[in-house]
Structure 1
């Protein structure tokens, strides 16, 4: 019988293979965490502005977060869109980032089926 941990470890193995694919440039661990926050907010249909992100002190200083958001925009993971208040920018995933999450989901399903 397969242990639940085996499924997770198989998932990690499959996701490692994704890192070698020529899709989007890789993210550092903090950028991955930011990407996950943006994705969860989008799934919950919640708005997430740059100001909202800056309020999350557990992610680091505002200057560091601005640098990470800029890097993620340059890498093609996120876009900043206008809101009704021109001073506020909404953080959104790009189509490429959404495809990345689709691929991760496929890895999870494949790992679960092989377990």
Structure 2
């Protein structure tokens, strides 16, 4: 394969590889809002920030709290997120599952592969 002519070609190649990854049966697909939620949880995890269900429901950019809550429930059922206890039994911490972390590992490999082709 010819080397990319411009940086946008690398990004387009990454998108192709990432799309193929989404077709794998490891975890059920996410809708666009769930993908945004996943990115927020991943970023908080990377920065070692605590993120509760209440914190997520308070994020105006994600829409109505009830919508966010239903998506968090859906993502738990699909195997993307888990809720863990905090010192306050009424508050739950939102975290990525091991399968979600593996998904990000695979996405990272797609990025590297896109730059090498």
Q: State the TM-score bracket (shorter-chain normalisation).
A: over 0.9
- SS of the residue corresponding to residue 49 of structure 2 reads coil
2:55 aligned residue: 52
TM (normalized to structure 2)?
A: 0.95
- SS of the residue corresponding to residue 95 of structure 2 reads strand
TM (normalized to structure 1)?
A: 0.97
- SS of the residue corresponding to residue 91 of structure 1 reads strand
- Match for residue 27 of structure 2 among 5, 24, 27: 24
**RMSD of aligned alpha carbons:** 0.8
Note the alpha carbon deviations across 1:13-60, whole angstroms, 9 max, x for none: 001111221110000000000000000000000000011111111101
Note the alpha carbon deviations across 1:69-106, whole angstroms, 9 max, x for none: 00000000000000001111000000000000000000
1:1-115, aligned counterparts within 5 Å? 2-114=5-117
Q: Which moved more, 1:85-94 or 1:13-22?
A: 13-22
Between the aligned partners of 1:103 and 1:94, the Cα distance in structure 2 is: 14
Number of residue-to-residue matches in the alignment:
114
Q: Could you list the runs of 5+ residues in structure 2 that have no partner in the other structure?
A: none
- SS of the residue corresponding to residue 84 of structure 1 reads coil
- SS of the residue corresponding to residue 24 of structure 2 reads coil
Between the aligned partners of 1:23 and 1:47, the Cα distance in structure 2 is: 27
